[in-house]
Chain A
């Protein structure tokens, strides 16, 4: 820092006509021109002098590198795992634990690539993405990339069960328990009305990433509601949070597992039960959403090569409670995903070790 100040001070030297502190400090000569070389020398000496007292040199000590990507490359065997990072917290929890295990127990280099689902699926074909660690249905993408282009394959379920449906804030479920039956919704339609719903009740739909049948549902169940597209998960969660705080009426499309449910335990509205095939014709749907067995999708070539990283991804499995716990570490406790993963793994060594079974070179926890 001291060399800095010195440099900035030579601004004062620029105008020889004025008595500047810089000049007077070195004021051996009346003319700035004469002072200049002297100051220059002083500055250079000072700056170079700094290097004398300076500590670790870059490249000298490996220990100083810390935290970088370089560490894993040394072990070589596992290679690089390119992990797509879709942008919801549950996904982050899965990915963080997988990353932590791959790095610490297997010495893999893990590249976390933040991107939307659709882009990640595209990336399988070009070899830029190896793994999507939590996939919600996406039958259209499966048909396109698994069946037609054959660039991706499923690596089995994550063990997480996804539920999609209509939810209301807890205060409302408590004050009017019958709102949890779809048949009673029309009774409350006017309460749910907003500036956006044109006199009808508002059904708030959200993140376009998720498949929605809500327009068909509203029509086929003869509900006096209008689907309003909030357009993002941020908008949904913010609306729900505000509704609970201010005791406002809101009903919206949501899903579990989701970190927000541990902050505000939203209640699910019962729709006509799902039966296989009841959603075959999109325009005639009048039943609840199916249960989603969330699964892992990997690049076809990555699976075929069958390296240790693929083995780990294939073995990886846990429960909704596990995911919610790690998600809570990240959101409520403000831990970094890496620290959250470390905490969970250390408390669940047996489970983590079961994923490592049969992988050569892996060091169990």
Chain B
């Protein structure tokens, strides 16, 4: 049987792996024909098991302990009060009336001046221009207050994430043991769908800024921790040893040698955290966080695609401004204000900028015209109506073609795989997947697979999990097809890169809710709609990784191939892609994780599976427990796919030596 195959496989050579995988699939399919329909562990969409009900009691017990349990009285309640005060403080700086004033302290003119000045100081004049123009455009869209609410929430969350995250990151960078304990927690925080803990959070921290900030924090703090840890680990040992031998204390080595060397990478971590925080603001709007998320969600209740897009566009612009500024600040490649100036002048120029900024901030704090963004000539209505008619045109023109495409992919790829996964006995699926993991990723990948799948069985959500797994795998394959095409084009040409990259950024940050309506018209409420939405989100990061990999292939190799008379296709196919195979594997890993992050959105557009269960648990009291179980199942599938793809990635070596 297939288990017999497992033991002998890892020693096989690479071409052998493919054959072995195919063999497992063939044996699996044959066994499926015989055993179909047995031990499939079905459970109706609206049925629950005792396990799910016991999870329900968990959330009830929070409510009843609110004001008696010491954990609440001394911890959660204080945390809530402190958090609320902090966020309210940031809001009253830029977005909401506060400090006993009828308007925020700093108005639009002040925010533009401050934003421009800070971007100039930290990242150079290009960033400053981008920041000023970007924010001015958002104001022109008629979304100033909403955008400032979003910015306030994002800034508050990022500040807290930095204060907590960098020390933890340093810790896991210095201690392997700490890293081993904390990394799985970070995985958990990133993969667990927010919908699962949104309702319990409002029980712990009430409805309001505290809950929204913590929800954003849970999702966005892992990158800064991970990347800080990575940065600290990357400091060469010889350097720290040299510092030690000079008699420096550990603290001195850390603060004067390691941190300065790791600074650039840590800034990248802050960048990632900021992006993650911004992508959560729409979801936080579900528990009444103010801002652009509200604009998008409210537009959705009347299927107003134009207004939703307008809000989404503002989020994208804000993301691009924050991304480019922090990236430039981290890389230090751009000319910051001090470049090309003699030292004495630097302070003069900076001081001058500071004075001007201070004056403008003062103006915006004092006068209405500089505080409330002028609404006279907003471009918002034109964007709204333009997008609405564009989306109608797309829907009317393409819905015939897209239906054919949907039926082709659903019938030709998705259905067979899903049937194989859901109609085989569960134990056969576990054996087969473990065998595949062993062949492709090795022992540890196989172990993670078997453990994760057994727990999924224990969660009583086998069928839903397999439906989700099937859709996730197909979506990842399609994602990789697009990512390779786009990534190769970007990697080979700087110009293509410059044109495509902002589009990719938009795909990553634009809230999915914005494009759900047109997709639903094009593809109906179906698994395919979910797959397409997931691709919009997952292709960008995968394509960026591949582009990096292609660019990393040494020029001399490519030139050698060119002079040997290889065609462009041959160079891509036989030189660049094989040499970037490590990047391809990493991109697949990223693609999988990003696709998985969209499972819940998929549940809202007809994909069913675990995503629907999570949504259901969020809105119906009876299903909280089942939703929690579904969230855990998503985490487990995520861990399994992540461990397998990472194992595959670490095996892949450009030289093919191992």
Contact mask A9-45 → B, CB, 8 Å, 1/0?
0110111100000000000000011001001100110
B303 proximity list for chain A (CB < 8 A): 234, 237-238, 241
- Interface positions, chain B 361-383, Cβ under 8 Å from A, are 363, 365-371
Q: Return 6 A-B CB contacts under 8 Å, by A number.
A: A43-B352, A43-B356, A55-B368, A70-B97, A125-B63, A128-B207
Closest chain-B Cβ to A283's Cβ sits at a distance in Å of 9
Q: Is B263 an interface residue (CB 8 A)?
A: no
Task: Pick the residue among A118, A209, A215 that contacts B44 (CB under 8 A).
Answer: A215
- A113 with B345: CB separation less than 8 A: no
Closest chain-B Cβ to A73's Cβ sits at a distance in Å of 11
Task: Pick the residue among B125, B132, B206, B301 that contacts A89 (CB under 8 A).
Answer: B301
The 5 closest A-B pairs by CB, nearest first: A230-B525, A238-B520, A195-B410, A47-B359, A65-B102
In angstroms, Cα B366 to Cα A69, docked, is 20
- A69 with B199: CB separation less than 8 A: no
- A118 with B621: CB separation less than 8 A: yes
Task: Pick the residue among B102, B287, B623 that contacts A70 (CB under 8 A).
Answer: B102
B residues contacting the other copy or chain, number (CB 8 A): 90
In angstroms, Cα B606 to Cα A26, docked, is 66
Given A195-B407, A231-B612, A232-B604, A113 contacting B302 (CB threshold 8 A): no
Contact mask B77-98 → A, CB, 8 Å, 1/0?
0000000000000000000010
B288 proximity list for chain A (CB < 8 A): 85, 113-115
- B352 with A40: CB separation less than 8 A: yes
Given A119-B287, A229-B45, A234 contacting B604 (CB threshold 8 A): yes
Q: Is B341 an interface residue (CB 8 A)?
A: yes
A167 proximity list for chain B (CB < 8 A): none
B366 proximity list for chain A (CB < 8 A): 51, 54, 57-58
Q: Is the interface of B mostly helix, strand, loop or mixed?
A: helix
Q: Is B203 an interface residue (CB 8 A)?
A: yes
- A-binding residues in B (CB < 8 A): 44-46, 60, 63-64, 66, 97, 101-103, 112-113, 116, 125, 129, 132, 198-199, 202-203, 206-208, 285-288, 294, 297-298, 300-303, 337, 340-342, 344-345, 348-349, 352-353, 355-356, 359-360, 363, 365-371, 395-396, 399, 406-407, 410-411, 415, 516-517, 520-521, 524-528, 603-608, 611-612, 615-616, 618-623
Residue of B nearest to A332 (CB): B302
Query: Number of contact residues on A: which range applies?
Result: 35 or more
The residue among A11, A36, A64, A209 with the most chain B CB atoms within 10 A of its own CB is A11
- A36 with B348: CB separation less than 8 A: yes
Residue of B nearest to A213 (CB): B46
Q: Is A147 an interface residue (CB 8 A)?
A: no
- Interface positions, chain A 44-76, Cβ under 8 Å from B, are 44, 47-48, 50-51, 54-59, 64-65, 68-70
Contact mask A109-135 → B, CB, 8 Å, 1/0?
000011111110111011011000000
Q: Is A365 an interface residue (CB 8 A)?
A: no
Residue of B nearest to A31 (CB): B345
Closest chain-A Cβ to B609's Cβ sits at a distance in Å of 9
Q: Is A92 an interface residue (CB 8 A)?
A: yes
Task: Pick the residue among B103, B369, B395, B621 that contacts A144 (CB under 8 A).
Answer: B621
- A54 with B621: CB separation less than 8 A: no
Given A69-B97, A231-B604, A235-B520, A10 contacting B612 (CB threshold 8 A): no
Closest chain-A Cβ to B195's Cβ sits at a distance in Å of 10
Q: Is A261 an interface residue (CB 8 A)?
A: no
In angstroms, Cα B613 to Cα A170, docked, is 31
Q: Is A321 an interface residue (CB 8 A)?
A: no
In angstroms, Cα B146 to Cα A114, docked, is 14
Closest chain-A Cβ to B487's Cβ sits at a distance in Å of 30
B528 proximity list for chain A (CB < 8 A): 195
Task: Pick the residue among B64, B102, B407, B622 that contacts A140 (CB under 8 A).
Answer: B622
- A89 with B302: CB separation less than 8 A: yes
A245 proximity list for chain B (CB < 8 A): 396
- B356 with A3: CB separation less than 8 A: yes
Task: Pick the residue among A11, A13, A57, A123 that contacts B207 (CB under 8 A).
Answer: A123
Q: Is A303 an interface residue (CB 8 A)?
A: no
Q: Is the interface of A mostly helix, strand, loop or mixed?
A: helix
- B363 with A51: CB separation less than 8 A: yes
- A140 with B524: CB separation less than 8 A: no
- B359 with A196: CB separation less than 8 A: no
- Interface positions, chain A 237-256, Cβ under 8 Å from B, are 237-239, 241-242, 245-246
- A208 with B525: CB separation less than 8 A: no
B395 proximity list for chain A (CB < 8 A): 242
In angstroms, Cα B372 to Cα A56, docked, is 12
Q: Is A141 an interface residue (CB 8 A)?
A: yes
- B102 with A58: CB separation less than 8 A: yes
Q: Is A291 an interface residue (CB 8 A)?
A: no
Residue of A nearest to B208 (CB): A128
Residue of B nearest to A3 (CB): B360
- Interface positions, chain A 118-172, Cβ under 8 Å from B, are 118-119, 121-123, 125-126, 128-129, 140-141, 144, 149
- A54 with B199: CB separation less than 8 A: no
Closest chain-B Cβ to A119's Cβ sits at a distance in Å of 5
Q: Is A189 an interface residue (CB 8 A)?
A: no
Q: Is A194 an interface residue (CB 8 A)?
A: yes
B616 proximity list for chain A (CB < 8 A): 208
- A126 with B206: CB separation less than 8 A: yes
- A228 with B525: CB separation less than 8 A: yes
In angstroms, Cα B415 to Cα A123, docked, is 43
**Given A59-B101, A194-B526, A231-B603, 15 other A-B residues pairs in contact with their CB atoms under 8 A:** A14-B337, A32-B345, A33-B342, A55-B368, A58-B368, A65-B102, A92-B301, A149-B64, A195-B528, A208-B615, A230-B605, A231-B606, A235-B604, A238-B521, A246-B399
